[in-house]
Amino acid sequence: MIAFMFILFGALLVLSTPIAIVLLTVTGATLYFYLGVPLQAIVQQLFNGMDNFILLAIPFFILAGSIMAEGSISKYLVDVMNLLVGRFRGGLAFASVLACIFFAAISGSSPATVIAIGGIMIPALVKSGYGDRFSTGLLTCAGSLGILIPPSIPMVLYCLVMNASVGKLFMAGFLPGLLIGGVLMLYAFILARKHGWRTTQDISFREGLRLIKKASWGLAMPVIVLGGIYTGIFTPTEAAAVSVVYAVLVEVFIYKGLTWSRFNKTLKEATVLSASLLFIIACAMTFIWLLTREQLPVKAAEFIVAHVGNKYLFLFAINILLLIIGCLMDIVSAILVLSPILFVTLQEFDIDLIHFGIMMIVNVEFGFLTFPFGLNLFVSMGITGKTLTDVAKAVMPFLFLLLICLLIITYVPSISLVLPNWLMP
Contact set with another protein (CB under 8 A):
12-21, 24-25, 28, 38-40, 42-44, 46-47, 50-53, 55-56, 59-60, 63, 111, 228, 233-234, 237-238, 240-242, 244-245, 248, 264, 267-276, 278-280, 282, 328-330, 332-333, 372-373, 375, 378
- Residue 266 Cβ, how far from another protein at the closest point, in Å? 9
Task: Work out how close the CB of 329 gets to another protein at its nearest, in angstroms, rounded to a whole number.
Answer: 4
Radius of gyration of the chain (CA): 22
* Rounded least distance, CB 146 to another protein, Å: 14
| Exposure string for 388-411, b = 16+ CB within 10 A, e = fewer | eebbbebbebbbebbeebbeebbe
Cα(287)–Cα(369) distance, integer angstroms: 28
Closest C-alpha among 370, 418, 413, 339 to residue 140: 370
Q: Least distance from C-beta 399 to another protein, angstroms?
A: 19
Closer of 163 and 231 to another protein (Cβ): 231
Q: Are 54 and 86 in contact (CB under 8 A)?
A: no
Specify burial of residue 8 (Cβ count, 10 A radius: 0-12, 13-18, 19+).
Answer: middle
Asked if residue 197 lies in contact with residue 130, where contact means CB atoms within 8 angstroms, the answer is yes
The whole-angstrom separation of Cα 372 and Cα 386 is 14
Residue number with CB closer to another protein (24 or 185): 24
| Residue 132 or 269 with smaller CB distance to another protein | 269
Q: Provide, rounded to whole angstroms, the least separation between the CB of residue 376 and another protein.
A: 11
* Nearest distance, CB of residue 182 and another protein, angstroms: 29
Nearer to another protein, 176 or 367 (CB): 367
Specify the length of the chain in residues. Answer: 425
Closer residue to another protein (CB): 131 or 382: 382
Contact of 20 with 283, CB cutoff 8 Å: yes
d(CA 368, CA 218): 26
- Least CB distance from residue 249 to another protein, whole Å? 10
Residue 184 or 325: the one with the smaller Cβ distance to another protein is 325
Which of 76, 105, 340, 91 is CA-nearest to residue 215? 76
Integer CA distances (angstroms), 48 to 55, 67, 125, in order? 12, 30, 49
Question: Which residue lies nearer to another protein by CB, 79 or 330?
Answer: 330
C-alpha distance across the termini of the chain, in Å: 42
What's the closest the beta carbon of residue 370 comes to another protein, in angstroms?
12
HSE toward the beta carbon, residue 30, CA cutoff 13 A = 25
Which residue number, 164 or 240, has a Cβ lying nearer to another protein? 240
